[in-house]
Amino acid sequence: MTQRLFKVDLSDEARDFQATATEPGLAMLDRNNANYMILRRWLGEFVAEPEWVGQDVHFYLRLEDRGRPEQAHCVPCSKADLLGPLQPQLEELDQKLRKAKTETANEQLLQRIIRKQFADHTRDYDASDFACHFFKCRVGGEPWRLVWCWGYQRTDLEPAKAIICGNDQCEALYTKRPKQKARCPVCASTARRGRKPAPPLWLRISQLALLLLLLLGGALFFMMNQPRIVASPDDWEGPPGSRVQYQVRYKAWYFWDDDVSDKVMPQSHDKRIVRFDPSGTLAKARAPGRALVEFHYKNMIARSNVRVGPPKQPKLVRLEPGGDVKVAVGSTQQMTLIGEYEAAENLDPVDLTEMAQWRMGNESIAFCSQGLVEGASQGSSDVTASYRASESDPYLDVIANVFVTAGDYQSIEVAVEPAAFALGQSGRIAAFGVDSKGEKYSLAGSSLLRLSVEPASVARVDDGYLVGLGLGKATLSAELLDFAATSEFEVTGSNLAYGTFAVSPASVAL
């Protein structure tokens, strides 16, 4: 069992600390650890790994080569530490933070917040709360390591000293104000974390004997009854383009066995290699490499290893749907390039859409991006999809005819499916143009379609989906040419498999 560095009480009644928000209603310490994975990519071992347990956040040291060590001694840094033996590590951390590359608007926001916090901690050691965030940790007899614990802040500005509770059952981080006794607000202990003296030999022998008795008497019962979730497949390997449908089951108390696949929060540790659909547990292999995927349910995590091998040249390629492509001006149709392999290779058909080259014969009639065809003007053209696994392989081509009608739109329709979804999860946007004959044309991904959410604090539009940002009801508005439509939806935390919270007020004017 790995040893935590300490825990931080972030409940509503917490005396010393509160969660830092990236946006109104969104905590920096998100429960699916998406922000941690971004910081880990930027800062490596310098950033501590958080894990929510109820209303507490437990922080762990995670090493690149060993994961979480079983034993790690941790104490708050002093000014002398940061100006002395740990100064080179602090400077290296600063350089990593400056060189961090952002890829999304969320990463840009996270980078601004974390840079500001680092500057606040290091600008003036005599006036900052750096000791509440910078810690020195040591594994065995190895040198001290600088570790940054993040995502929380002081509840007040009164000068105080950071202390880790010396009670092994508590180990809470708290602060001692001037003229105040150093007493842990969580367990009321006055013991402080420091170098722990080795217990007497007789006590260690007694503890070992007691431990063996407990293990012999209760190990079997505990192992058979411990609630857990299991993901299958737990180890997958295949070529890029493959799709993997994961199933996650909750097991407990001998007979309890439930499929919770629709309730878990899937997470890929490297979306360049494998990525999940915005809703559900369907994953797609994207590029060669290794990645770890996780499924979060309540306070449990199931993990699966993914190994994506090099691309393989298929026997043939085909388009789905087959036949001619019929769209109206401004409407769209998603085409998928499927690769099929020889039976001897024992490979299922794979989706090659993102890796293929798409060429439209006449781009004044229609244009195509990664298989999404959109009508531009009335007429006909053809679209060609080409794929090869490597430069030494020949291209495999498939051609489809594209027919574009004028698009006699009389109205548009928009809906969110489902109309109620959880905070942090997604609802799919379904938009259609309706012509004078009542025929519907898909507007998904159309360059002419304009989407907006009111209020914007509830959800944001992300590649055909609505992602829940804050609790409440909102309206999705769609506009195409002179037509408009709306759809009501709600973001709720009631059906999440893990706890949620909201920050109030959502905004403050000063």
CATH number at residue 458: 2.60.40.1930
On whether the CB atoms of residues 131 and 78 are closer than 8 A, the answer is: yes
142 and 40 in a single domain? The answer is: yes
Share above pLDDT 70 across residues of the chain, in percent, rounded to a whole number:
94
279 and 391 in a single domain? The answer is: no
pLDDT class for 500, splitting at 50, 70, 90?
A: very low
Look at residue 459 and tell me if it is in a domain.
yes
105 and 90 in a single domain? The answer is: yes
Q: Give CA 210 to chain center in angstroms.
A: 42
> Which tens digits make up the pLDDT trace of 138-183?
998 899 999 999 999 999 988 899 999 989 899 999 999 888 888 9
Q: Is the pLDDT of residue 495 over 70?
A: no
142 and 26 in a single domain? The answer is: yes
341 and 274 in a single domain? The answer is: no
Q: Is 42 helix (H, G, I), strand (E, B) or coil?
A: helix
Q: Is 417 helix (H, G, I), strand (E, B) or coil?
A: strand
**Least confident among 21-30, 202-211, 373-382, 467-476:** 202-211
Residue 279 CA to residue 419 CA, distance in Å, equals: 14
239 and 142 in a single domain? The answer is: no
Tell me what the mean pLDDT of segment 307-326 comes to. 94
**Given this model, what pLDDT does residue 195 score?**
44
Tell me what the mean pLDDT of segment 329-349 comes to. 92
For 58, list phi and psi in degrees, rounded to 5: -95, 135
pLDDT class for 257, splitting at 50, 70, 90?
A: confident
On whether the CB atoms of residues 246 and 261 are closer than 8 A, the answer is: yes
**Given this model, what pLDDT does residue 428 score?**
92
Secondary structure (H, E, C), 222-271? HHHHCCEEEEECCEEEECCCCEEECEEEEEECCCEEEECCCCCEEEECCC
Question: The domain that contains 332 carries what CATH number?
Answer: 2.60.40.1080
Look at residue 212 and tell me if it is in a domain.
no
Transcribe 285-344 into DSSP letters: E-SSEEEEEEEEETTEEEEEEEEE------SEEEEES-S-EEEEBT-EEE-EEEEE--GG
418 and 377 in a single domain? The answer is: no
401 and 477 in a single domain? The answer is: no
Domain hosting 69: range is 6-176
**Given this model, what pLDDT does residue 140 score?**
86
Residue 344 CA to residue 394 CA, distance in Å, equals: 20
**Given this model, what pLDDT does residue 209 score?**
86
71 and 142 in a single domain? The answer is: yes
**Least confident among 199-203, 304-308, 386-390, 486-490:** 199-203
> Which tens digits make up the pLDDT trace of 354-365?
999 999 999 999
On whether the CB atoms of residues 422 and 263 are closer than 8 A, the answer is: no
Transcribe 45-61 into DSSP letters: GGBPEEEEETTEEEEE-
**If you average pLDDT over every residue of the chain, what do you get?**
90
On whether the CB atoms of residues 498 and 422 are closer than 8 A, the answer is: no
Look at residue 439 and tell me if it is in a domain.
yes
Look at residue 96 and tell me if it is in a domain.
yes
On whether the CB atoms of residues 22 and 108 are closer than 8 A, the answer is: no
Residue 494 CA to residue 472 CA, distance in Å, equals: 11
pLDDT class for 197, splitting at 50, 70, 90?
A: very low
360 and 480 in a single domain? The answer is: no
Q: Is the pLDDT of residue 498 over 50?
A: no
Q: Is the pLDDT of residue 289 over 70?
A: yes
Structural domain tally of the chain?
4
Q: Is the pLDDT of residue 505 over 70?
A: no
Look at residue 15 and tell me if it is in a domain.
yes
Q: Is the pLDDT of residue 76 over 60?
A: yes
Look at residue 220 and tell me if it is in a domain.
no
pLDDT class for 259, splitting at 50, 70, 90?
A: very high
Look at residue 192 and tell me if it is in a domain.
no
Tell me what the mean pLDDT of segment 326-347 comes to. 93
Q: Is the pLDDT of residue 66 over 90?
A: no
Count Cβ atoms below 10 Å from residue 169 Cβ, excluding itself. 7
Look at residue 458 and tell me if it is in a domain.
yes
For 395, list phi and psi in degrees, rounded to 5: -70, 140
Share above pLDDT 90 across residues of the chain, in percent, rounded to a whole number:
70
Last residue of a domain, one of 276, 308, 340: 308
Q: How far is CA 447 from CA 223, 456, 467, in A?
A: 55, 21, 20
